[in-house]
Amino acid sequence: MYERGDVARGFTEAYVVLEENYRTECEIHTPMEPHGCVAKWDGDRLTIWESTQGVYRIQQNVANVLNLPLSKVRVIGHYMGGGFGSKLQAGKYTIIAALLAKITGRPVKMILSREETYLTVGNRPPSNMTLKAGVKKDGTLTALDFTCTGTGGAYPAGGTSLVDWEVRDLYKCPNVRTACADVYINAGPARPFRAPGHPEGSWALEQMLDALAEAIDMDPVDLRLKNISLVSQARDGQPPYTSSGFKDCLAEGARAFGWKQARQQIAAAGKQGIIRRGVGMAGGHWIAGGGRPPSTIILKLFADGSVNLNMGASDIGTGTKTVMSLVVAEELGVKPETIQIEHADTGSTQYATPSGGSKTVPTESPAVRAAAISLKQQLLEIAAQDLKVDPSTLYFSAGSIVSRNDPSKKINFTDLSGLKKRGVVVGIGYGGPNPANRVTNPFAAQFCEVEVNTATGEVRVIRFLGAHDSGRVMSRLTYDNQVFGGITMGIGLATTEARILDKNHTGKMVNRNWHDYKLPTALDVPEDIVSLPIEPDDTEANTTGAKGLGEPVTIPTAAAVANAVYHATGVRITQTPIHPVRLCRLLAERRKEG
Amino acid sequence: MVPSFSYIQARSLDEAIRYLALDGARAHAGGTDLLGCLRDRVFDVATVVSIAGLKELRGIGATPAGGLRIGSLTTIAEVARNPVIRSKYGALSMAASEVASPQLRHQGTIGGNLCQKPRCWYYRGEFHCLRKGGDQCYAVDGENPYHCIFGGDNCFIVHPSDTAPALVALQASVTIAGPNGRRTVAVENFHIPPSEDYTSETVLEPAEIVTEIVLPPPAEGLRSSYRKVRARRAWDFALAGVALAIVFTGDQATDCRVVLSGAAPVPWRSAEAEKVIKGSRLDRDRAAKAAEAAVKNAEPMEQNEYKIPLFRGLIEQQLMAIA
């Protein structure tokens, strides 16, 4: 239960008040690589190779359950084929494999079958939502009243986690009330799933904003621009954001997409013919994405000038290793290809929190920079001795150290006597505290165009644009990949994916395979997806200016598709997924109503 | 887990038939359906008899009568891209192109496509349903959005094949070889509705194999098409599909077949729609009437009522496109 202001009074101040029920279906994470591990004992020491988002979390889980010292449990992650939040903890299979390996004295491998992963290792829970909203004639939001029922299956947590956050925090509104209730059902557990709660809440809020905009005859982008907040309203003390590119996401995104022209063209074409086009958009932000301590990074410079970066965090396929190499390369002035990364191994890399919450880059990259700076300071000391000058007069230049006063006094890293003698210079970096009384969140606006066959209910997503403020772009290639992947996943929520339980007989999941549980295919995703980075200069958030990206990219997608389908057909689809099973019936009902 | 079984690579059709007569024997052609059925424990198997090496069952060629013979081991992809099929039997080419995904089309065979097992999730899942020897069809009051609206009787599957409706529309037949020699059956009569026998999908007797599909020479003025609507745009079975084969004399539709997929436990010929079309000038009004007639006798369940407007819209669109 959350409340601020006076919701009842807010509704009396409104020019239009609308209320609608919304539902999002349960989604299964479905990473390409199923959950599993190998466990092996050497005497009293246990080694586990696990497909995980965080090796130290697994180490902690296993040590707790088996009552072992942390030092006796080594967990190795290395490569993994996706997790999306479902691999943040050890599984029962991890413990079972460890026990079986102990009993048999042999390594034991346990990989869940696809069917097993569909039942036991988490989901994005279904959400039944109601949203009532009031708006003034000029577009000012006056009140939001939101309720949600969800379920973490037969388990006590996560059924409605963060589903109300977008309603509470995204748009400026003085009077807000939300109430969420978890109910128990005989089904598998909830687990965090790429931006937990956010795409669900966005499905309700962003469709409601679309409806309000229409009711007051205002452009949907303009309505959102009218209600931007520069403080986090739902947090105590309403702290300001370290940066907010939300306004630019909306305005620049609309411009790059050709929003106004597209709406004009579609209006000019009129509602004729069986195939109709529509455009839709939605905004969003992500509750986390600012990073936080702890993080410890060790950077080693070897005698030949090559660099080893030692980081406990997992690269879950998002390009973490690429980004960290670029930070080292930028700070040390070395080529990225000279950097080798050791990561995700509790036996040989440093403590890190699991890669989740879109916090890995903002958490680890400042510690990486700090480690590089620590390394540089030591190199300066060594160089000052070798060159017999004061260290404060030296600066770095492409793999060498030069005197500001006398450019002839110059030494390459590889010639430093201290480095040659010791074989290695080690820099250590720690993640610093976050700025006080500030919030660091990423922002997003997405735009899309769809084509609907009004006779059959078939929807084709023609093009998408994602305008994202995730702070500084650390690597354009991996950045764009996150945008494309997030939009793809959001299209899945919008148009194809749903867990189906046999509700009248057994409660079993009937579609627990890749044919019946319909992930979007390459043909369901448009070829034309534009990634438009919005890069506000965020010097407060951390020393790299990066904010999280992996989750905000999937938050507004489904709502944007629903809004586009409404624009094309005049049918408001409040329940996912939008495919012919649902849309064809709604279109037929609408024709009947005339 | 796939159960353990013995595996025999037949060197001749006779040998294949001999081994298939063993208890618990199953034929393996492309294997795309067989492996899934074994993994899902849809049926028990003791012996898998591979017919994949039988060259005489492959390939596409003309018949003396001027029609076309397609060996049952010809892949769906070969059928889809064959230029003769594309020009003379458009519905079959289109249907083959709409099957599953490129990987499955390259592995799956046309014979296997006709003989595939239903995709009903109760049948494929861990439910002891009527078709698997149990005592009830779970779909009747269960999760039935993808189930049939015609011909359900006691089991409410839809036939999963795309090529079968096209072949019925094109008046094709299959040649079957078995312990008692060869026989020919029209594709229209190849599949068995649950009202006749809810435990089998085809007329194949034990140890019988489909060896070829024979298409008659196309009638003068024949136009044919197939279109499929699905929940996602690839790798999916039909929510609703329609194969049309219409013989035009001038602008008159003198003969026609309308065969639906995703509608019934067998490829479903709509006599009602055909009656409206036959002998008419196929204009918008007539197309709408035919589409209406096609769904008039549908018996939807709780979750598949959408198929009525879907088929109506689809059939009308396809009739207008072909006319």
**CATH node for A296-430:** 3.30.365.10
Residue B1 has pLDDT above 90, yes or no: no
Closest CA to A46 of A30, A29, A25, A63: A63
Strand order, beta sheet including A127-135: A2-4, A176-182, A141-150, A127-135, A16-24
Instruction: Tell me the CA distances in angstroms from A202 to A158, A173, A273, B7, one per residue in order.
Output: 17, 16, 31, 54
In a domain, B213, yes or no: yes
pLDDT tens digits along A119-154: 999 999 999 999 999 999 999 999 999 999 999 999
Radius of gyration of chain A measured on its C-alpha atoms: 26
- Taking CB atoms and an 8 Å limit, are B143 and A274 in contact across chains? no
Q: How many CA atoms lie within 13 A of A444 on its CB side?
A: 37
- Which among B126, B233, B309 has CB closest to A521? B233
pLDDT bin (cut points 50, 70, 90) of residue A181 is: very high
> Candidates 3.40.50.11540, 1.10.645.10, 3.30.365.10, 3.30.300.30; correct CATH number of A2-26+123-289+438-593?
3.30.365.10
- 8-state DSSP, B35: H
**Could you give the number of structural domains in chain B?**
1
**Do the beta carbons of residue B155 and residue B131 sit within 8 Å?**
yes
pLDDT tens digits along B132-154: 999 999 999 999 999 999 999 99
pLDDT bin (cut points 50, 70, 90) of residue B24 is: very high
Q: Which residues contact B15 (CB under 8 A, 6 or more apart)?
A: none
For residue A460, which phi and psi values (nearest 5 degrees)? -115, 125
- Taking CB atoms and an 8 Å limit, are A580 and B310 in contact across chains? yes
In a domain, B166, yes or no: yes
- Taking CB atoms and an 8 Å limit, are B236 and A520 in contact across chains? no
In a domain, B27, yes or no: no
Its domain, for residue B138, covers 62-323
A580 touches chain B (CB under 8 A): yes
DSSP H/E element including A241: none
- What does the H/E/C string look like for B124-163? HCCCCCHHHCCCCCCCCCCCCCCCCCCCCCCCCCCCCCCH
Compare all CA atoms of chain B with the CA of A590 and give the residue at the minimum distance.
B309
State whether residue B24 is helix, strand or coil: coil
State whether residue A543 is helix, strand or coil: coil
What is d(CA A479, CA A525) in angstroms, rounded to the nearest whole number?
18
| Dmax (CA) of chain B | 60
Given this model, what pLDDT does residue A271 score? 84
pLDDT bin (cut points 50, 70, 90) of residue A156 is: confident
- pTM for the structure as a whole: 0.97
Which residues of B fall within a CB distance of 8 Å from A508?
125-127
Q: Which residues contact B78 (CB under 8 A, 6 or more apart)?
A: B60
Residue A283 gets the label, from left (phi > 0), alpha (psi -120 to 50) or beta, of beta
CA dihedral A489, A491, A492, A494 (to 10 degrees): 130
pLDDT bin (cut points 50, 70, 90) of residue A594 is: low
Secondary structure (DSSP) of A141-161? EEEEEEEEEE--TTSSS-SST
CB burial of A308-326 (b: ≥16 within 10 Å; e: otherwise) equals: bbbbbbbbbbbbbbebbbb
In a domain, B32, yes or no: no
- Sign of torsion over alpha carbons A552, A525, A32, A200: positive
Average pLDDT over residues B225-233: 96
The nearest CA of chain B is from the CA of A13 a distance in Å of: 42
Instruction: Tell me the CA distances in angstroms from A549 to A244, A290, A474, one per residue in order.
Output: 14, 10, 11
Average pLDDT over residues A303-324: 96
Domain boundaries of chain A, sorted by first residue:
2-26+123-289+438-593, 36-117, 296-430
What is d(CA A488, CA A494) in angstroms, rounded to the nearest whole number?
10
Q: Which residues contact A466 (CB under 8 A, 6 or more apart)?
A: A253, A444, A446, A483, A486, A487, A529, A530, A531, A532, A553
Given this model, what pLDDT does residue A349 score? 97
β-pair partners for B215: B68
**Do the beta carbons of residue B214 and residue B195 sit within 8 Å?**
no
**CATH number of the domain encompassing residue B212:** 3.30.465.10
Which residues of B fall within a CB distance of 8 Å from A502?
122, 127, 138, 142-143
What is d(CA B232, CA A580) in angstroms, rounded to the nearest whole number?
9
Identify the residue whose tokens are 């702070």: A471
- Which among A457, A510, A523 has CB closest to B233? A523
What is d(CA B282, CA B274) in angstroms, rounded to the nearest whole number?
11
What is d(CA A398, CA B282) in angstroms, rounded to the nearest whole number?
78
Q: Please provide the average confidence, as pLDDT, over all residues in chain B.
A: 97
DSSP H/E element including B17: helix B13-20
Which residues of A fall within a CB distance of 8 Å from B42?
none
Identify the residue whose tokens are 């396929």: A317
The nearest CA of chain A is from the CA of B313 a distance in Å of: 5
CATH topology match: A36-117 vs A296-430:
yes
A531 touches chain B (CB under 8 A): no
Given this model, what pLDDT does residue A591 score? 86
In a domain, B53, yes or no: no
CB atoms within 10 A of CB A399: 14
pLDDT tens digits along A367-423: 999 999 999 999 999 999 999 999 999 999 888 999 999 999 999 999 999 999 999
Q: How many CA atoms lie within 13 A of A314 on its CB side?
A: 33
In a domain, B71, yes or no: yes
Q: Please provide the average confidence, as pLDDT, over all residues in chain A.
A: 96
Given this model, what pLDDT does residue A433 score? 92
- Taking CB atoms and an 8 Å limit, are A521 and B314 in contact across chains? no
**Do the beta carbons of residue A563 and residue A206 sit within 8 Å?**
yes
Residue B2 has pLDDT above 90, yes or no: no
Which residues of A fall within a CB distance of 8 Å from B309?
584-585, 587-588
Which one of B38, B39, B232 makes the best mutation probe of the A interface by having the most chain A beta carbons within 10 Å?
A: B232
Please report which residue ranges of A52-189 form alpha helices under DSSP H. 55-66, 92-104, 114-120, 165-169
- Taking CB atoms and an 8 Å limit, are B231 and A581 in contact across chains? yes
CB atoms within 10 A of CB A438: 15
> Candidates 3.30.365.10, 3.40.50.2300, 2.30.140.10, 3.40.50.970; correct CATH number of A36-117?
3.30.365.10
- The residues of A that are catalytic are 551
Instruction: Tell me the CA distances in angstroms from A37 to A51, A108, A155, A437, A524, one per residue in order.
Output: 6, 8, 24, 42, 33
Compare all CA atoms of chain A with the CA of B308 and give the residue at the minimum distance.
A585
β-pair partners for B75: B109
Q: How many helices (H) and strands (E) does chain B have?
A: 12, 13
Please report which residue ranges of A170-302 form alpha helices under DSSP H. 198-215, 220-226, 246-257, 259-269
Query: What are the structure tokens assigned to B58, written together?
Result: 């492959």
